[in-house]
Amino acid sequence: MEKAESDVDLSPNAATVLEKRYLKKNEEGKVIETPSDLFRRVARHVAAADAGYGKPEVWVQQIEQEFYELMTSFAFLPNSPTLMNAGRRLGQLSACFVLPVDDSMESIFDGVKYAAIIHKSGGGTGFSFSRLRPKGDVVGSTKGISSGPISFMTVFDTATEAVKQGGTRRGANMGILRVDHPDILDFITCKDHNSRLNNFNISVGLTEAFMKAVEDNGEYELLNPRTKNVAGKIGARQVFDKIVNQAWKNGEPGIVFLDRINASNPTPALGEIESTNPCGEQPLMPFESCNLGSINLSKMIQRNQDGKAEVDWQRLKDTAWKAVHFLDNVIDVNKYPLQMIDETTKSNRKIGLGVMGWADMLIQLRVPYGSEDAIKLAEKLMGFIQTESRLASCVLAEERGVFPNYENSIYNGEMAVRNATVTTIAPTGTLSIIAGCSSGIEPLFAVSFVRNVMEGTKMIEVNSYFEKEAKDAGLWSREIMERVAEIGSVAHFNEFPEDMRNIFVTAHDITPTDHIKMQSAFQKYIDNAVSKTVNFAHEATTKDVEEAYILAHKLGCKGVTVYRDGSREEQVLSTKKAEEKPQHDTRARIVPKKRPAVIKGTTRLIKTGCGNLYVTINEDENGKPFEVFTNIGKAGGCVASQAEAIGRLISLGLRAEIEPDEIVKQLKGISCHQPEWYEGGRVLSCSDAIAKAIEKYAHRHEKGDNGNGKSKNGAVMQIGACPECGGTVEHEGGCAVCHSCGFTKCG
């Protein structure tokens, strides 16, 4: 796509992400708008809400221009659904929703249906399964036995898998179970194998009573949610240790402190908050949604008379006020996927203004991320944003009125506000790529890293601040940066002075304690919660994870997500090893199975840059892929012969019992000079098309499981490789994101 003369200034990576995920496309998948068109479309649609409050056309046009400049300067960006859908037919602008799941078949399957509708529209969903009766409990209507909440979670997971195949954003769920539910031990280990619940993040809802029992090494009561009676007692330490061990093992479950969340519930008269959105930063009532956006702190810097960098407090204030106005407007122009969500969202008008580019701000200010100065600045900065955002909401209340549930809120009689909440720290994976800044409040994910580009070429990406400083100091060399890219960090490179190594720290250079302290510093001035990953080195112990959890509770965090480097890779390896068949003698030849006389299969058409490619996949008597034939339309010569050769080699591999996933991983992402858009996705080459055909065949026939107990999408994610470009997936902001192509597990 050629860059228009008036288009916004984007990095190559940002341009790629916008083209792939955000820009409007026609029915053939061709991009039909520029980045500036996108931001103008969003600004015009969101500003139109002002007309509904009696503002004249000239005013609305002025607000449109303010919103446009706000986004194209990258001082602020709204959440992804707003960028994707504002001013378009779908019109669904919210990122996060919470749906109720009550203890009845009607409620459970209503939840499945509602979640599918939301996922189709580009949103993520959170559920509390704590109201469902435990496994083995009586079912009154049939006198049967309940299968319990975990079995129903698999129903939600399967529905998400089916819906997400055709979406621009992947469906994502949060599943929460209270720690006092009788099935809590099964829930803690429900993602022990990577073949299960891959469309869910899971968190245990901890109570203050439970944390006190952990401290006292005592027991606590398990409660049957159907009868409200005590179902037994269990040692708090036993449960806590199991949570810690699982989180150490593969990063899940996370924890949320439910009592602490409800202590800051702005509308307690309406009921308790039981769940959050998929990344945990947005506690919501049933049928609530929230519109999020982030201020780019890397832009909130000015130079004083001495040339020293300092926070531009005036610009930060102006940006916060405009962002609150923007997000409040989004509530009005949003097309909600369900009428109940429309009504509930507008009754409380929650917004979540957060930040990104925090690490970049600290670098410019020459403040080390893990220092006490950084903690103090975090509190001052977020306190300032919270105060200004609340004041902006008060002014909107004077002009437009308070939110309808105001009388049932903690603000009643104290302060007239437009929005029940105003601040949230959300993940900003793809948004920060577009804005060219660091993600959320995380440290840098890498000083230098390898990015996959077209035709299999790998580029060395270097943090722009580090590159300038290294060059200015005469310390730059391509050879050094290639070495740095292998590990991402400069912490142990003595070629650079100590002050540079202290300033340019990455997530794995920071201690877990410093991660928790930073999260806590921001949480003090956040209405909702903070999405952040606490990174651990691979060598970390379960005791280290336990201490982080205890510290997070002590310092006032509302939840914690941890990730021990390499833990999920290790889990996949151990799972595969446990499930491996007995190995043949290494000296023996692998003999492909013979082809039967009659075999059945299906043919799929995929458009490629070389023409229509027909991929026929035949299966064996067990329903597993057995051979592949290809036909490349009217094309001949090298194209047809190479496609035929690929098909023969794949068939040989399949008949030798090589898993289809392994073949897909080798072929998917290979690029040629003529990529093509087809069915809402990009087909990079004939090899890529064949891989996609095999993958879709497997999804259709194996219902999300590839035959060896390993989910295709889930496993690729778990081993740290991006399923779309093969780049490295980083765990940050309570989510997982690929900085090469913008893929994110959380949608």
- Active site amino acids: 277, 279, 281
Q: With contact defined as beta carbons under 8 Å apart, do 568 and 276 qualify?
A: no
DSSP H helical ranges for 473-559: 478-487, 498-503, 512-523, 542-554
Q: Which of 494, 422, 496, 423 has the alpha carbon at shortest distance from 463? A: 496
Distance separating alpha carbons of residues 395 and 107, to the nearest angstrom:
40
What are the helix and strand counts (H, E) for the chain?
Answer: 25, 27
| Residue 718 main-chain phi, psi, to 5 deg | -65, -30
Instruction: Concatenate the DSSP letters of all residues of 322-378 into one string.
Output: HHHHHHHHHHHH---SSHHHHHHHHHH--EEEEEE-HHHHHHHHT--TTSHHHHHHH
Task: Reduce the DSSP state of residue 585 to 3 states and report it.
Answer: coil
Q: With contact defined as beta carbons under 8 Å apart, do 54 and 29 qualify?
A: no
User: Do the strands 76-78 and 735-738 form a parallel or antiparallel pair, or are they unpaired?
Assistant: unpaired
Q: With contact defined as beta carbons under 8 Å apart, do 353 and 330 qualify?
A: no
Query: Count of CB atoms within 10 A of residue 97's CB?
Result: 32
Query: Count of CB atoms within 10 A of residue 716's CB?
Result: 21
Distance separating alpha carbons of residues 683 and 686, to the nearest angstrom:
8
125: β partners: 97, 173
Kindly report whether the peptide bond that precedes residue 56 is cis, defined as omega within 30 degrees of 0: no
Distance separating alpha carbons of residues 577 and 642, to the nearest angstrom:
35
One-letter identity of residue 325: H
C-alpha distances out from residue 298 to 55, 315, 362, 470, Å: 33, 12, 9, 19
Distance separating alpha carbons of residues 402 and 411, to the nearest angstrom:
10
End-to-end CA distance of the chain: 24
For 141-173, give the secondary structure using H, E and C.
CCCEECCCHHHHHHHHHHHHHHHHCCCCCCCCE
DSSP strand E in 420-526: where? 448-452, 458-462
Distance separating alpha carbons of residues 564 and 692, to the nearest angstrom:
31
Enumerate long-range contacts of 413-420, CB under 8 Å, 24 or more apart.
415/390, 417/390, 417/393, 418/328, 418/349, 418/393, 418/394, 419/324, 419/327, 419/328, 419/348, 419/349, 419/350, 419/351, 419/393, 420/266, 420/267, 420/348, 420/349, 420/350
